[in-house]
Amino acid sequence: MSELPIAPVGRIIKNAGAERVSADGSEALAALMEEYGTQMAREAIKLTRHAGRKTVKAVDIKMASEILK
């Protein structure tokens, strides 16, 4: 089960241009978003620790996204 709520994920799909979104479509995207988000968070934590900090900052997330491209 995903940590992300399904309704907002469905709205993301609709905002991207879909006319209709099924529950399993929203759940599938939520699962993928969670998987990618976890990978990004792990990378950001590595960068945070490398910088000698305990707090993950926006710059760590942005750098992690560049690394995971």
Distances (CA, A) of 62 to 36, 38, 45: 14, 14, 12
In the chain, what are the domains? 6-67 (1.10.20.10)
Question: Do residues 54 and 26 lie in contact, with contact meaning Cβ atoms separated by under 8 Å?
Answer: no
Rounded to two decimals, the pTM is: 0.87
Q: How confident is the model at residue 2 (pLDDT cuts 50, 70, 90)?
A: confident
pLDDT digits (tens, 9 = 90+) for 6-47: 999 999 999 999 999 999 999 999 999 999 999 999 999 999
- At residue 43, the pLDDT reads 98
H runs (alpha helix) in the chain: 6-15, 23-50, 58-67
